[in-house]
Chains A and B, each alone.
Chain A
Amino acid sequence: MASFTVASTVAIFGARIDGSRQALGNLQQFTCAVTLWDVSEWMTLQSLATTTYHVHAPLGGNPVVDIVGGAGEGALVIAGLGSTTAILTGLERNSYLPYNRTQGTATFLITGSAI
Chain B
Amino acid sequence: MADYSDLESGTYATLETDTYFLLEGAQVRQVSLQVIFAGVVLTNVIQARGEVSADTGWPTCSVFVTAKPPTGNEEDDITVVAGAGNNVTRFTGKVRRFRPSGFPKSIEMVCSGTLAYAAEWAPVLTGSTDVAYRFGVSGDFPDGSQGFFPSGGTDQDLVQFALAQVPGITYTSGNIGGTGTTLGLSAPRSFDWKNGATAWSYIQQLDRATLYRTYQARDGTIYRVQMIGHPDNTADFTLGPQDMLQGASGDRNTEQTRNNLRVLGHDYGVGVGPVQGTATATPIPGIPDRWEMFSSDLIEDGNDPLGAAYGLTGLNADTLADQILPDVDKEFVEASIPSWRDDTHGPGMTCLLDALDRLAIGEPMWVARHAWEVGDNGWMATYGLTGGGLQQTNPAPPV
A residues lining the B interface (CB < 8 Å): 1, 12, 14-18, 22, 24, 26-28, 35-38, 41, 52-68, 72-73, 78-82, 84-85, 87, 110-115
Contact = CB atoms under 8 A, between A and B. Distances in A.
B272 interface: no
Given A17-B17, A35-B7, A79-B12, A66 B378 contact: yes
A59 B244 contact: yes
A18 B10 contact: yes
Contact of A67 (B7, B25, B29, B246): B29
| A-B residue pairs, 7 tightest by C-beta | A66-B378, A61-B242, A60-B241, A37-B2, A80-B12, A80-B13, A114-B21
Contact of A17 (B11, B25, B379): B11
Nearest to A41: B2
A58 B14 CA distance: 39
B31 interface: yes
A92 B19 CA distance: 25
Contacts of B306: none
Nearest to B375: A68
Interface string B368-387: 00000001111110000000
Given A14-B7, A65-B26, A80-B12, A54 B377 contact: yes
Contacts, number: 136
A41 B14 CA distance: 23
B26 A1 contact: no
A60 B242 contact: yes
Interface size class of B (residues with CB under 8 A): 35 or more
Contact of B25 (A1, A56, A79, A85): A85
Contact of B23 (A38, A80, A81, A110): A110
Interface string B11-42: 11111010111111111111100000000000
Nearest to B19: A114
Contact of A37 (B3, B30, B380): B3
Contact of B241 (A14, A22, A55, A59): A59
B27 A64 contact: yes
Nearest to B2: A37
A18 B246 CA distance: 37
5 contacts: A16-B7, A18-B10, A35-B7, A59-B245, A72-B28
Nearest to B357: A60
